[in-house]
Structure 1
Amino acid sequence: MISNIALLGFAFLMLCAVWYDVRSFTIPNWVPGVLIAGWVLAAPFLGLGWAGAGMSLLAGVIVLGLGMALWAPGWVGGGDVKLLAAGALWFGWPDALSFVLIAVAAGGVLAVILLILRHVAHLLPISSDRLGATALAQGAPVPYAIAIAAGALLVLPQAQMFAVYTG
């Protein structure tokens, strides 16, 4: 029961991050914060043991460190880095690697789609004021939480934590 709630909570929080990022180009700190707190509460039920929990923590810290290196020059947003690190914490090793790689690939696909849509956005029956507040506006940030959540939801069914939850 607890494992099912934790799994649904993880997926729900990833989708919350998408909602906020699409609407405001920000991910509130409470989303990765609740993900981290949720992992701490769920960890005893995951069957990880001390070594597994340590590897999950290490995966989250490594992703956070690499993400901060990309955030420092302004290549990615801070909220994206925190969300990616919180997701890596939940997936642990080695699933965190799959999660990050699929999220990066999904981010590339998202960027190409946005470039195409931005090129044809003027043809849409939307006022320029309304269009200017969306990701379709020229120069608007990319709501990367879409790619991060896609990576999480695509890896989740094959992840070790999913086997623990459904087992």
Structure 2
Amino acid sequence: MTGEYFRLALLCALGLLLVGASVTDLRSRIISNRLNLSIAAMAPLWWLANGLPLWPGMAAQLALAVAVFAIFAALFALGCMGGGDVKMLGALALWFPWQALLSMLMVMAVLGGVVTIVTVVHHRMTRRLGQPQIPYGVAISVAALWLIGERYLNQFA
């Protein structure tokens, strides 16, 4: 029973960090390294709380996170994503199995399109110069929160 409360506490902490990422990304278009490091640092606690074995479980999560980071770092190099977004995706990949992560990425892509459209429309309506900066961390955070809610909290529905 204590383990269940610990897992719930970890999910709540992750949720709070994701809300914080959304707020700071909306305000300043920056997701801090500390926030991303906190998300990543809590993942091993999540693994232990869920009884994930060192091999292949933890190793697979690390490999998944490295792969996700590498793919999105390439998008960063092409100017398609911000560095904080890439780091947050890599940190979140430590938390979820690959199937769940794929679902999160699909939801993130749809929400990212909505965030982009809203941002561009607002940028043009306010007649600002230059290219708008898209707060993609909002889409990432909401998609991860959706995944947490769908996967871990809706088991009672």
TM superposition score normalised by structure 1: 0.80
Q: Which residue of 2 aligns with 1:129?
A: none
Amino acid of the structure 1 residue aligned with 2:72:
G
Q: Which residue of 1 aligns with 2:62?
A: 57
Deviation at 1:77, TM superposition (A): 0.7
Alignment of 1:2-81 (within 5 A): 2-50=6-54, 51-81=56-86
Q: Deviations over 1:11-59 (max 9, x none)?
A: 1111111111111111110111011110112211113223232222222
Q: Is the 8 A contact 1:57 1:89 kept in 2?
A: yes
Deviation at 1:76, TM superposition (A): 0.7
Matched, 1:158 2:150: yes
Q: Deviations over 1:76-97 (max 9, x none)?
A: 1110000011112111221111
Deviation at 1:73, TM superposition (A): 2.1
Deviation at 1:138, TM superposition (A): 5.5
Alignment of 1:62-141 (within 5 A): 62-121=67-126, 139-141=131-133
Deviates most, 75-84 or 87-96: 87-96
Deviation at 1:113, TM superposition (A): 1.7
Deviates most, 55-64 or 2-11: 55-64
Q: Percent identity?
A: 29
TM superposition score normalised by structure 2: 0.85
Q: Is the 8 A contact 2:108 2:140 kept in 1?
A: yes
Counterpart Cα distance in 2 of 1:56 and 1:13:
20
Which stretches in structure 1 are left out of the alignment for 5+ residues? 123-131
Counterpart Cα distance in 1 of 2:26 and 2:150:
27
Q: Is the 8 A contact 2:17 2:39 kept in 1?
A: yes
